[in-house]
């Protein structure tokens, strides 16, 4: 039995599913989170509640673990870096620093000759006046924000007047593509330069929140191969260790664009728990803890439905069919637009 203890920074649903996967591999877990009600404490061996800049809590956490990972890209770089000086943090904090910053992230992708949507940095309101050709677009905070938080659709320059935002926080304006489909690739890179890559997942968003995911994605072979190649190039260039997700747009002319990178396990990959021999979570643990790499095998096609807000109360009382798998995130408070659970349906 392994004696390894994994530290997980962040305690939401992704942390929960990582802790469960670690536990199945006989690895104990300590979750460190700034939310006293963090759901992952229900699945970890230990839980440390503290702010991410609380030195004594950070020291306590470091002392209890051998290797550290994180489940949320919004963890401050400073915290990750400080911890990494003493015990290994994987993926390495410099990866998170690039991806936390939407402009640095897109610049990095473009340097690899991989297409993104067009974008510009917005530092003050007047910067938007000359941005007509990036409209319709999406104005996003450069750092922080997820699930549509800190994002403002802009159809025309008039829309700017009704915005009540602090431009000095730093924004990016991204031109919208004429969207046909969204897909994601989940890839795990191991320390030894080897990969396990899942087939593309097709995603449907509603109100900027992921609603459904399914495999197989209905896409051409060209898009399938290109998306896998780009995700592999990104993971390699970052010298990434662990599971990473690349989200893509496909436009009406079948052009592929990288939307964004998530340096972590990803919501669209929840279906890998039931559809594959090894889930995205288990693969992440295997990579960061340097365990054996197992070739991926799909056992079934699948569809995943995100359960958002008060829909959770319906699912908590729902009788499940044999091919349905429900996961309740056990979040203390039901909030509008909050991801509360998911249901995976194996389709054949």
| Shortest spacing between CB 335 and ligand AIR, in angstroms | 7
Q: 194, 220, 213, 243: which is closest to 303 by C-alpha? A: 213
Half-sphere exposure of 274 (CA within 13 A, CB side): 22
Regarding 14 and contact with ligand AIR (CB under 6 A), the answer is yes
Residue range at the interface with ligand AIR (CB under 6 A); choices 7-15, 24-32, 85-93, 125-133: 7-15
Nearer to ligand AIR, 18 or 83 (CB): 18
β partners of residue 138:
153, 174
| Shortest spacing between CB 155 and ligand AIR, in angstroms | 26
Q: Which of residues 38-77 bind ligand AIR (CB under 6 A)?
A: 71-72
Nearer to ligand AIR, 147 or 251 (CB): 147
Choose which of 338, 343, 346, 347 interacts with ligand AIR (CB under 6 A): 338
Choose which of 49, 77, 146, 167 interacts with ligand AIR (CB under 6 A): 146
Distance CA 8, CA 97 (A): 18
Regarding 15 and contact with ligand AIR (CB under 6 A), the answer is yes
Question: What is the x/- site pattern for ligand AIR, positions 305-334, by CB under 6 A?
Answer: --------------------------x---
Nearer to ligand AIR, 134 or 340 (CB): 340
Q: What is the CA radius of gyration of the chain?
A: 20
The phi-psi region of residue 41 (left if phi > 0; otherwise alpha if psi is between -120 and 50; otherwise beta) is alpha
In the chain the first and final C-alpha atoms are separated, in Å, by 36
Regarding 7 and contact with ligand AIR (CB under 6 A), the answer is no
Choose which of 7, 8, 9, 13 interacts with ligand AIR (CB under 6 A): 13
Name residue, tokens 């008060």. Answer: 310
Q: How buried is residue 319: exposed, middle or buried, by Cβ count under 10 Å (0-12/13-18/19+)?
A: exposed
Nearer to ligand AIR, 128 or 315 (CB): 315
| Shortest spacing between CB 337 and ligand AIR, in angstroms | 9
Residues 6+ apart with CB under 8 A from 93: 77, 80, 81, 84
Residues 6+ apart with CB under 8 A from 213: 184, 201, 202, 203, 204, 267, 268, 270, 271, 303, 304
Residue range at the interface with ligand AIR (CB under 6 A); choices 8-16, 84-92, 99-107, 216-224: 8-16
Q: Which of residues 243-282 bind ligand AIR (CB under 6 A)?
A: 267
Choose which of 54, 147, 159, 236 interacts with ligand AIR (CB under 6 A): 147
Q: Residue 278 is encoded by which pair of tokens?
A: 């090894």
| Shortest spacing between CB 61 and ligand AIR, in angstroms | 16
Nearer to ligand AIR, 101 or 298 (CB): 101
Alpha carbon of 255 to those of 7, 45, 115, 133, 153: distances in Å?
A: 40, 46, 9, 19, 22
Nearer to ligand AIR, 160 or 327 (CB): 327
Q: What is the binding site for ligand AIR (CB under 6 A)? A: 10, 12-15, 71-72, 146-147, 267, 331, 338-339
């Amino acid at each position: 039995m392994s004696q390894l203890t994994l530290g997980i920074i962040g305690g939401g649903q992704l942390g929960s599913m990582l802790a469960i996967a670690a536990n199945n591999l006989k690895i104990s877990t300590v979750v460190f989170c700034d939310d006293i009600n963090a759901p992952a404490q229900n699945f970890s061996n230990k839980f440390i509640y503290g702010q991410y800049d609380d030195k004594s809590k950070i020291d306590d956490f470091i002392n209890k673990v051998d290797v550290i990972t994180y489940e949320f890209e919004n963890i401050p770089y400073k915290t990750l870096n400080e911890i990494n000086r003493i015990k290994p943090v994987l993926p390495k904090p410099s990866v998170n620093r690039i991806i936390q910053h939407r402009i640095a992230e897109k610049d990095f992708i473009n340097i690899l000759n991989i297409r993104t949507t067009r974008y510009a940095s917005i530092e003050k309101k007047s910067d938007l006046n000359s941005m007509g050709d990036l409209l319709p677009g999406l104005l996003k905070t450069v750092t922080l924000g997820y699930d549509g938080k800190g994002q403002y659709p802009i159809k025309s320059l008039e829309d700017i007047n009704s915005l009540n935002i602090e431009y000095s926080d730093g924004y990016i304006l991204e031109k919208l593509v004429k969207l046909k489909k969204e897909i994601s690739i989940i890839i795990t890179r191991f320390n030894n330069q080897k990969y396990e890559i899942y087939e593309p997942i097709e995603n449907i968003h509603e109100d900027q929140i992921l609603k459904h995911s399914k495999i197989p994605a209905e896409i051409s072979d060209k898009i399938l191969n290109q998306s896998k190649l780009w995700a592999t190039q990104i993971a390699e260039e970052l010298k990434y260790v662990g599971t990473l997700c690349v989200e893509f747009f496909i436009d009406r002319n079948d052009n592929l664009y990288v939307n964004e990178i998530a340096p972590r396990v990803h919501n669209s990959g929840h279906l890998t728990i039931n559809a594959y021999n090894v889930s995205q979570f288990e693969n992440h643990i295997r990579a960061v803890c340097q365990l054996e790499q197992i070739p991926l095998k799909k056992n079934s096609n699948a569809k995943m439905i995100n359960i958002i807000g008060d829909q959770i109360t319906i699912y908590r009382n729902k009788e499940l069919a044999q091919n349905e798998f429900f996961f309740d995130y056990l979040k203390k408070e039901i909030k509008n637009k909050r991801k509360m659970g998911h249901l995976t349906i194996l389709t054949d």
